[in-house]
Amino acid sequence: MDWKDTRQLFPVTERLAFLNNAAESPLNVRVRGRLLEYLEAAANAPHQRPPARQPVRARLAQLLGGAPEEYALVTSTGVGIGLTAAGFPWAPGDNMVLPAMEHWNNTFPWLALRDRGVDVRVVPVGSDARIDPARVAEHIDDRTKIVAVAAVRHVSGFRSDLPCLAELAHAKGALLVVDGIQAAGVVPLNVEADGIDILAGGGFKWLLGMPGTGYLYVRRALWNTLRPALPGMFAADDDLTQIRWLPNASRYETGTLAYSLFHAWTAGLEILLELGVDAIHQRVLALTSRLIEGVNAKGLTIVSPVDTPAERSAILSFTAGSAEGNWAIMTRLAERNVSVSLRAGVCRVSPSFYNTEEEIDRVVNAL
């Protein structure tokens, strides 16, 4: 595959080396076209607007595993995890486990449970930002109900060993809840093969959608365990005398969605299905390998764990050793029309499949 052919999908490539895909995917022409298609219908034939819910669910299942009916549509990762934390039937003495320094969306909903008497156990992580399953295991006991973790960490790009963590959680009767936003669409992720019970993510990063789109996968066997915390009009049968939950994960949906955005998102998901996530993963590993070589040659310190290929993702973070040095790097890259980000005080570069070796070299040369 000639990956340069995909650049025509992203107009941003005409003016900018956009290497900040872990923050947000730039709008591609197919998603934009499908958004305009929906707006045209809404303006001229609103009663004939294209359906959005089922097409998105079907494509998510193709990409991430499970069945379409196991996916609820939500607006963000935080909403999906928040619904999980709020809807679980916690009892006095229960606890849940999560690593330190997770993203806010995979931290705040759990910490808030302390007000409800839940013992929230935070597992320390090493200076290399790796999550050690053995340390997680030390915090799990017979009262652990949920182990929550990011599939890929947002600062370091560390890729968690989900099957191992699932085995640890399931051995104690706990659930594995995964923040998938930095993994879905760019590294192999499958809810069944990885042992994931609940998966939440947003569509606006590697899944090539726009802000305001997201999903919550809930394994079928859990539908009678996880209570719908904010049920909307599409969560149950049309009966105003009693609630009869629908026999699918839409019971977790909170009401009307931004249908225009979800309809547009189908085009982004189709791009990923055409290219294949395995191929995309190999592409970004090749680009980050080139960056690793260049950063090492410049004598800078790589923050991301890179020695084990299975722990790598599309995110690579490094530092000049000081806040001033990192700001200087950011400024120099911006002057050269290169977009990266500063996260937790370190420089984070996150190439996607449409980026090129030449753009990686622009980063290295600027250092």
pLDDT digits (tens, 9 = 90+) for 336-351: 999 999 999 999 999 9
Tell me, what's the pLDDT at 58? Answer: 98
Q: State mean pLDDT over 215-237.
A: 96
* Angle (CA) 203 315 202, round 5°: 15
Q: Is the pLDDT of residue 253 over 90?
A: yes
20 phi/psi in degrees, rounded to 5? -130, 40
pLDDT digits (tens, 9 = 90+) for 113-150: 999 999 999 999 987 779 999 999 999 999 999 999 99
Domain spanning 3-19+276-366: CATH superfamily: Aspartate Aminotransferase, domain 1 (3.90.1150.10)
Counting residues of the chain whose pLDDT is more than 90, the rounded percentage is 96
Q: What is the mean pLDDT of the chain?
A: 96
CATH architecture of 32-273: 3-Layer(aba) Sandwich (3.40)
Tell me, what's the pLDDT at 49? Answer: 87
Strand 214-218 with 71-74, pairing? antiparallel
214 phi/psi in degrees, rounded to 5? -175, 180
Q: State mean pLDDT over 257-285.
A: 98
pLDDT digits (tens, 9 = 90+) for 71-128: 999 999 999 999 999 999 999 999 999 999 999 999 999 999 999 999 999 999 987 7
Tell me, what's the pLDDT at 126? Answer: 81
Q: Is the pLDDT of residue 353 over 90?
A: yes
- Are the CB atoms for 363 and 291 separated by under 8 Å? yes
Q: Is the pLDDT of residue 1 over 90?
A: no
- Are the CB atoms for 367 and 298 separated by under 8 Å? yes
Q: Which of 340, 258, 220, 225 lies closest to 74, judged by CA?
A: 258
Helix (H) or strand (E) holding 120: strand 119-123
Q: How confident is the model at residue 213 (pLDDT cuts 50, 70, 90)?
A: very high
Tell me, what's the pLDDT at 68? Answer: 98
Tell me, what's the pLDDT at 335? Answer: 95
Lowest average pLDDT, out of 8-12, 43-47, 186-190, goes to: 43-47
Tell me, what's the pLDDT at 288? Answer: 98
pLDDT digits (tens, 9 = 90+) for 161-181: 999 999 999 999 999 999 999
Extents of the domains making up the chain? 3-19+276-366, 32-273
Query: 147: which strand partners?
Result: 97, 176
pLDDT digits (tens, 9 = 90+) for 293-312: 999 999 999 999 999 999 99
